[in-house]
Structure 1
């Protein structure tokens, strides 16, 4: 990986706001210049950052549903035992295209956290699409505690804007299971046997609202763009958006990039964790501590969008020094530049009316946002301006408020996605 000198604040201010132009890619990642655009290469298309652990599910087939942005000719899957305390034994891993019903997203309408005893709609695979994933040619794998494993290439045509089924079978109790708690859509469980290779949904009679073990999907593409990581908290994880609809703002940004020519459409990776903080560990390690695992280790990352800090404003203990935010942001930018990644900073959105709001915290939010706008990052996505109420700028517009005066509804998520400039005309 090429290492680049730190870009000065003056030069950062002069860079275009655009995320996805060939010019910005070449300026920040010189190794891409001159590479044949018809040569297939791997691109990240989906991510879930590990946020904690859940009890193991021995003897259970776990069918995770993941929504893909950009497609490709092959797939490979990242599986994680990052937060586990014992070796994770998986004796079957399969990948398939999910069978949709009535044109709706697989699993739409499920109740979060509910359990059922009937076959689960959304757990069925498109006939002929189910493939077994291997690890250096072996169908089983043991993942040591604290580590990830990536499958071999799976010969599966992955459609854009599709749901994939990533199914794993855990034959024994391997200790705490690494998971992403808030999936906002169901995963499906088949008890009592290895049903990873089942195409029908009949065995999958239970639903949960978490992603177990699976933390990434890459696809093989012939087009030039790589991937964009959205690093954030619950506002990025999707809290407040409708269940089962893929209306998190990174999902909606992924839909927006379809406006671009095919050769310029990147994968959008969601590294949001509900409860996460910029400066302190909370739910998951702080944003500063998880850069390597959730950003730099991901495939083909060229751009990072940082939307972190609201939980530091309102958390216990709250952060009161705007300089601490700025130092953290500058460190993220410096480390990202060393990996050839440009960084867009998102301003912090209002939370007036929420129980944690105080005038002092509002003043700190304004101070932090002023610094974000002043040139800390290569470019700015002004999320604050996109969703604040013009009549009460300490609050979210009522039409965007999910009800708790902090999190955004579907319309608010769309406003955030629209605030990222795709045209190259911003400055």
Structure 2
């Protein structure tokens, strides 16, 4: 069944089409690299994504969900940590039907449209080539021997033999997933791929490290953390830029920075994905090897329902307005959960957003109150003052013009670089 998105004009126009590619089916070639861990080794997260329900985004638009059948989905990702073996997590957390995967594989990228034939590896699940995920469940693949280095691109391919409603997944910019007809899991190039507006099913990759334990930092937040305003959010977001700074400093032990930002996410209420309070344990604290978490969330709670300085009561009833006390209580809960697990916490102040649709005098007072509370915390490992790093010199309520993407809410790529510099604190190395 050919892939046909519900609305090509609305879903695919901003995606980069890779065109028609030749099909080259090549056999798996084993490498002399061990997959089983030594006693002094551990799993460390090399890549993660904050997933949510794709159908929830389409429903308000009156659009049907994405359905794939007898197609191969290939997703590209940039790993933040290197190792000699890896495992892949598949997710059906938000699905309400069993998810059948007929075959799966992984390989290292040689460009935007091809994998290195010698690195292609089949993924297995309890020794089997495929797996079925029950609704609301996740599953790790068996370990597979593959040498991968930090800041290297790889791709995971899945064959979906049955009609599959795509629920669980995540968005990136630019497009990083394609679909092609039939089972092309072990092909180095997909034949006639079509860009997908969504990255389905694959939500994490762990690597085995054979060196001193790494510091694993999870950046947790909303679109400002995800890097939604950047042309390439995978490379220009503040977590990606922070990772590059730390790699350049050749830290020992290495510091791995992972992005758990989710555009539109709120701390206190469900909306774009589960509320921050609900997803923090899964998306941050359950990340393999996590040692630190940077928390920057709350702007969507403050600005929810505001337009032109007004918040209509019919749209946002009083009980749904986020007060400073409610936001700080939510942040305090995240701090407590992390510290209870032995994870170090770095709290980020909320950047200015005057001039954006979210702004009003009442909302500004809430932001200022939340930031005063953050700056006064004695029970966290560090405070990162993103507000001070990004605000304009002549108007502290606005983003600096050089750091403004143009909507007065999201930082520009220069702004993300300034955030990374502010976040490069000694506590990340402790």
TM-superposed deviation, 1:245: 5.8
TM-superposed deviation, 1:365: 0.6
TM-superposed deviation, 1:320: 4.4
Corresponding position: 1:384 with 2:387: yes
2:114 alignment partner, one of 124, 127, 148:
124
2:336 alignment partner, one of 331, 334, 337:
334
Q: Mark the CA change 1:38 to 1:382 in structure 2 (over 3 Å): closer, same or farther.
A: farther
1:72 alignment partner, one of 79, 83, 94:
83
**Long gaps (5+) in structure 1:** 1-36, 101-121
TM-superposed deviation, 1:192: 2.3
Distance across 1 between alignment mates of 2:240 and 2:105:
24
Aligned to 1:60: 71
Match of 1:252, SS? helix
Q: Is contact 1:348-1:384 (8 Å) kept? A: yes
Moved over 6 A (4+): none
1:308-341 deviations in Å (ceiling 9; x for gaps): 0000010033634211111111111111112111
Q: Is contact 1:188-1:205 (8 Å) kept? A: no
Distance across 2 between alignment mates of 1:335 and 1:211:
29
Number of matched pairs? 368
Q: Give the superposed CA RMSD.
A: 2.0
Q: How high is the TM-score relative to the length of structure 1?
A: 0.82
Aligned to 2:304: 315
Distance across 1 between alignment mates of 2:181 and 2:189:
16
Distance across 1 between alignment mates of 2:205 and 2:322:
38
Distance across 2 between alignment mates of 1:247 and 1:328:
29
Distance across 2 between alignment mates of 1:262 and 1:38:
24
Aligned to 1:113: none
Say which is worse superposed, 329-338 or 311-320, in terms of deviation. Answer: 311-320
Aligned to 1:40: 41
Say which is worse superposed, 291-300 or 380-389, in terms of deviation. Answer: 291-300
Q: Which one has more relative contact order, counting CA pairs under 8 Å at least 6 apart?
A: 1
Corresponding position: 1:191 with 2:180: yes
Q: Mark the CA change 1:404 to 1:251 in structure 2 (over 3 Å): closer, same or farther.
A: same
Match of 1:73, SS? strand
Q: Is contact 2:292-2:428 (8 Å) kept? A: no
Aligned ranges for residues 27-426 of structure 1 at < 5 Å?
39-54=40-55, 55-100=66-111, 122-180=112-170, 182-201=171-190, 203-222=191-210, 223-243=212-232, 246-316=235-305, 317=316, 319-375=321-377, 377-424=380-427
Aligned to 2:20: none
